[in-house]
Amino acid sequence: MSKQTYSVCFCCRRRFKLALAEAPPEIKTLFYSYSENDLMSPFLLQRFLVHVQKQEKATIEDAQAIIDSLKHFHRKGLNLESFFKYLFSDTNLPILPSLGVHHDMTLPLSHYFIYTGHNSYLTGNQLSSDCSDVPIINALKRGVRVIELDIWPNASKDNVDVLHGKTLTTPVELIRCLRAIKEHAFDASEYPVVITLEDHLTPDLQAKVAEMVAQTFGDMLFSPSTEIPKEFPSPESLKKRIIISTKPPKEYLEGKEIKEKGDDSQHGKASADEEAWGKEFPSMKHGTIDFQDNKMDEEDLNDEEDSDESDKSHPNEAPEYRSLIAIHAGKPKGGITEWLKVDPDKVRRLSISEQQLEKAAITLGKEIVRFTQRNILRVYPKSTRITSSNYNPLIGWMHGAQMVAFNMQGYGRPLWLMHGMFKANGGCGYVKKPDYLVKTGPNDEVFDPKAKLPVKTTLKVTVYMGEGWYYDFKHTHFDQYSPPDFYTRVSYNDLLHDFVTGSFEI
C-alpha cells in the first residue's frame, strides 16, 4: 500500500495531506505587503513586479497571465501558497528573457567577455573521442560565440581535416564544420561568431582553406579594411558576421616534434568527488590567488601559438589565406612580459594557458589588465585535462580576459559558472566588462586585482533555492572589485553575473 494513505475502520483508506514547504517569514511579510484579505490581485501583483522585481514594463495583463499560469483555486489572485510557488516557477527566472540585450554593444570587442569554446569539435575526451560537427552545433545553439578548429592535412595530404593533432581522435572534414557554423551561427544570437583556427597546414592547403571559407560564408565573412587595425570593431557593427582569427601563416613544419606529456602522477589522483565536480576554486580573498601547483605545463613550452612576429610575411605563405584574418593572433619574441606589451598602433589576440595566466597573475596582474583594455586575451585549458574538464574562469575574468576558452562538452562547477555568466545580456554571448577593467585613472593607473582595499560594506544575502531550502552567503564590498566570500558551494546565475561584472547594487 502507498505510504501516502492510511486505513480507516479496516474497510476504507484515506490519503494523508502532503506537507507543503512553508513560506519563510520574509516571504510572508512580502506577500502581506502586496495583498488584501490574503489575496494578491492582478493589480497588486503588477505593483509587486514593478517595485520589487524591478520589471518596470510589467502590465496588469502580465500579472493576470502569471495568475492564470498557476493552477490553483483562486482565479482572481494569488494566495500565499500560490505566491510562494510562483517565486520558484519558470515564470520567475533569475534573468528575465524579456530583458534581452541591454548592454552597450557599440564598444570595441576588447570591452566584452565572450562565450568561448575550446576544441569545439570534440565529442568527449581530448585523447580518443570522435571529432564531429555536432558539438559545434550544440555550442552555437547555446550561444557560444567563439569556435575553435584545429586544421590538419588529411591522410592523403590533398584536403583539410579537423582533429586534435597527435592524438587518437577521429577526424571530421573541415568543410562539414564550416557548413555547420554557417547554418547555426545565429540560431541563439545575432552577434558575431569568431572562428579561431589552429593552423598546421602547408601553403597550398592554406589556399584551399581560404577558398572553402570564402565560398561557404560569402558576404557573412568579415574582411577588415586594414590588415592590422588600431582598434577592434564593435559587436553591434558585426551583427550576422563571421570573423576569422589565427596567427599569420608560415611554412608548415611537417616534422615538428611534439614533446611527450610529462608524468602527472606526482600531483596525486583526484578523489571521486573531484572527478565528478572539479576541484574547489583557489582562494581569492582580497584579490590574492594561492597556487599549489606551479610546475610548468607541457603547453607552456609547446604552445598553441608559437612565438612569432605577427605582422611579418613569410615567403611561402598563401596571401589569400592571410587576407581572411580579421583578428591577428601570435606572440612577440621573448617571455610573457614582452607578450603583454601594448602597441598603440595595432591590436591583436594573445593566447596563454590557464597555468601561464595563474603564474603571470602573481606578479603581472596590472600588466594583464592593461593589455586587455585594447587587445584580446584568450586563455585555454592545460593539456593534462584529457577528460575535458575545466578550470576557474573567474581568474581570467577578473584580469579582463575576453576569451576564457572552455571544453563545452565537459562537466562540473566551472562549466556551470561559464553557462551562468553568459545567461546575462539576453544570452547573446557577449557581456560588457565593468568600466574599471577598460578605463584608466587620472594618472593612467589601471585596476590592480591584488590590491588590498578597505572594506566599505558587508552585505549578507539570502538566496532561496526552492521548496523552503535556502542558503546564506556574504559579499564584502570594496572600493574596487573583490570576489565574493561564499559560505556555501552554491552559485546563482543572476547574482554571479553581478559579482563578476561589478554591477551588484548595495
Active site residue 118: yes
d(CA 324, CA 37): 68
d(CA 283, CA 328): 34
Instruction: Match 604552445 to its residue by C-alpha cell.
Output: 303
- Kindly state the cell numbers that stand for 412: 562540473
d(CA 287, CA 303): 28
Instruction: Match 583539410 to its residue by C-alpha cell.
Output: 160
Query: What 8-state DSSP symbol labels residue 350?
Result: E
- Kindly state the cell numbers that stand for 359: 603564474
**Short-list 383, 380, 369, CA closest to 403:** 380
In 283-353, alpha helices (H): 298-301, 319-322, 336-339
In 169-250, alpha helices (H): 174-184, 203-217
- Kindly state the cell numbers that stand for 496: 554571479
Of the listed 72, 74, 103, 164, which one is catalytic? 164
Residues 436, 448 contacting (CB under 8 angstroms): no
**Short-list 51, 113, 45, CA closest to 80:** 45
- Kindly state the cell numbers that stand for 13: 483508506
**Short-list 486, 488, 482, 487, CA closest to 504:** 482
Residues 163, 171 contacting (CB under 8 angstroms): yes
d(CA 232, CA 192): 13
Residues 210, 320 contacting (CB under 8 angstroms): yes
d(CA 400, CA 433): 7
End-to-end CA distance of the chain: 54
Task: Say how many residues make up the chain.
Answer: 506
CA distances from 447 to 175, 376, 381 (A): 43, 17, 25
In DSSP terms, 476 is beta-bridged to 458
Query: Exposed, middle or buried: residue 102 (CB in 10 Å: 0-12, 13-18, 19+)?
Result: exposed
- Kindly state the cell numbers that stand for 337: 612580459
Of the listed 103, 111, 118, 475, which one is catalytic? 118
Q: At what angle do helices 80-87 and 25-33 cross, to 10 degrees?
A: 110
d(CA 215, CA 154): 20
CA distances from 466 to 33, 88, 305 (A): 21, 6, 46
Which residues are known to be catalytic?
118, 164
